[in-house]
Structure 1
Amino acid sequence: MDRRKLLTSAVLGGAAGLVGATALGSLSPEDVFAAEGANAKINPGDPDPNFVEGRITGITDTVLFVTSSDGSLHSIRVTNGTSIWKLNPTTFDEVKVGDGLYARGLRLADGTLAADSLWVNIVNLNAHVDSIGRGSLNLDHHGQRVVAHVENGRSAAVYNNTPAVSDMSMLEAGKHVKVIGAWHPDTNEITISTVYAAV
């Protein structure tokens, strides 16, 4: 399975996935999404040795044990210099077993990935708005229901490629949106970072 495709077996029952983390050192999920495929040194179709996607199956000290969507096992070492995003920039103690992640860093001689950046539970959904509730959007993502929560002071909307605003009032039921946010593991729920819509 292509590491940049959706983690279909792990996220929202196959309905969504994690965005490929390719911008070394970038923390913004929007920048990560925009930079997908930007690493020109990797031939198309070849695995990137400095990139891991998957789900965290264990944590010991500062090492994450991750099972990728293709079943391969990885060890990821988190250092004081590792940037971590989980809807917001965060710290290592917020990373939990069961979280999905993308990691970029440098491969050490023992095969461990020393992480420069971790993006935890990041999702990128193209969906239709079924309905708008108080503090949430009910989305249809390829026939799957997704509840997208709005977090005051954090969630933003981008209308027609204008600068992001906190006002979600121009979103309409029945319209197409793209949502970048954070998945709530083992649920059909996410928290919105940014929702993109045409009005």
Structure 2
Amino acid sequence: MDTTIDRRRLLTTAVLGGAGVVGATTLGSLAPEAAFAAEPLSVEPGAPDPNFAEGRISKISGSMLFVTGSDTVLHSIRVTDGTSIWKLAPTTFDRIAIGDGMYARGVRLPDGTLAADSIWVNIVNLHAHIASVGRNVLHLDHKGKRIVGHVVPDRSAAVYNGTPAVSDLSLLKVGKHVQVIGAWHPDTNEIDIATVYAAA
């Protein structure tokens, strides 16, 4: 079965208001790591992926997001009943705001609009060193810049040496290299931590 055609049919149905639209997570993971995974598409090396968009939201109108990409390309992204949205955790369309950054994957429609199956809002993926550890906060050095990582109760987790994620971040030590996936606070040096990957 051609999954690209199936996705296109499903999302086109969602755009047209068809009944019984399944959640987009059935098309792929909404886990934050999936935002950075390569999509199995036949795209020429170096060519942009037509089914991916990123940038900052400049306007919201109805179910449409208008996004200015980091390469200054303007994207029109349609959110449907089948779109899954992540903003530190799975959430709803009303949590998206002008000024938020985002990544979206979906299906490009004939009019150029991207019908989104998954949107990750303000997502960041940082490789850093721990500069200091405070109560519910990690101070990180990322490429010479200080990042303040907020530990969010019942949300932030750590993965030590590839083991399953746990809520105990007490094994994180000053000076250690970590990878942090989280949600950026726009126009600041602060993030909310989703997952920290570290060696114990």
TM-score (norm 1): 0.85
The aligned counterpart of 2:152 is 151
Deviations 1:64-117 (A, max 9, x none): 000001111111010010000000000000000001111111112211111111
Q: CA deviation at 1:39?
A: 2.0
Q: Counterparts of 2:169 and 2:50 in 1: how far apart (Å)?
A: 40
The aligned counterpart of 2:112 is 111
The aligned counterpart of 2:28 is 25
SS of 2:99's partner is coil
**What code does the residue aligned with 1:29 have?**
P
Deviations 1:144-182 (A, max 9, x none): 000000011110001111111100111000111100011
**Equivalent residue runs for 1:24-173 within 5 Å:** 25-33=28-36, 36-173=37-174
Q: Tell me, yes or no, if the aligned pair for 1:62 and 1:79 is still in contact at 8 Å.
A: yes
**What code does the residue aligned with 1:85 have?**
W
**What code does the residue aligned with 1:61 have?**
G
Judge which range, 169-178 or 106-115, deviates more: 106-115
Q: CA deviation at 1:42?
A: 1.3
Q: Counterparts of 2:39 and 2:108 in 1: how far apart (Å)?
A: 19
Q: Of Structure 1 and Structure 2, which has the larger fraction of its residues in helix?
A: 2
The aligned counterpart of 2:15 is none
The aligned counterpart of 2:187 is 186
Q: CA deviation at 1:24?
A: 5.3
Percent identity among equivalent residues? Answer: 68
**What code does the residue aligned with 1:32 have?**
A
Q: Tell me, yes or no, if the aligned pair for 1:129 and 1:137 is still in contact at 8 Å.
A: yes
Q: CA deviation at 1:25?
A: 3.0
Q: Counterparts of 1:58 and 1:30 in 2: how far apart (Å)?
A: 26
Q: Tell me, yes or no, if the aligned pair for 2:55 and 2:68 is still in contact at 8 Å.
A: yes
Q: CA deviation at 1:38?
A: 3.9
SS of 2:77's partner is strand
The aligned counterpart of 2:10 is none
Judge which range, 109-118 or 56-65, deviates more: 109-118
Q: CA deviation at 1:31?
A: 3.4
SS of 1:30's partner is helix
**What code does the residue aligned with 2:79 have?**
V
Runs of 4+ in structure 1 displaced over 6 angstroms?
Answer: none
Q: CA deviation at 1:30?
A: 2.3
**What code does the residue aligned with 2:92 have?**
T
Q: Tell me, yes or no, if the aligned pair for 1:83 and 1:117 is still in contact at 8 Å.
A: yes
Root-mean-square deviation over aligned CA pairs: 1.3
The higher radius of gyration belongs to 2
**What code does the residue aligned with 1:83 have?**
S
**What code does the residue aligned with 1:112 have?**
T
